Amino acid sequence: MVYCVKCGAKNKKDAKYCGKCGATLEPSREKRFEKRAEEWGEEFGRRAEEWGEKLGKRAEEECFGLPHGGAIFGLLIGCVIILVGITLVLREIFQLTFGFDIIWPFFVIVFGLLFIAGAVYALTRK
């Protein structure tokens, strides 16, 4: 059933004019335009959301302008930390002082290895 906007009378679903007052029952141009504008707005919103998701994913994958740049940076930092640890161990060995001082450079090396392991995990996860 369709109701007349002017008099409120009930009309058949396929009726074009009101049986009581004769008013047009088809939606006005303004209503059709409003409906189209709403549909266009929804479509625009959906597309903008998709674009934003794609941009966010690309930004996650790139760091320093490189794909997977964060993981590459982690690999470099890990290598530097390991090199620092190795030089500390070698310094202790060549000074021939094997006390407690020789233990902590190994912790530095392990820390560097953890950095590298995290970066490798990040690269293989994607």
All structural domains of the chain with their residue ranges: 65-126
Contact 72, 115 (CB under 8 A): no
State how far Cα 40 lies from the chain centre. 25
When the pLDDT of each residue in the chain is averaged and rounded to a whole number, the result is: 78
Convert the pLDDT of each residue in 96-124 to its tens digit.
666 666 677 788 888 888 878 888 887 77
Residue predicted with more confidence, 97 or 91? 91
Asked if pLDDT for residue 83 goes beyond 60, the answer is yes
Residue 96 is predicted with a pLDDT of 66
pTM over 0.85? The answer is no
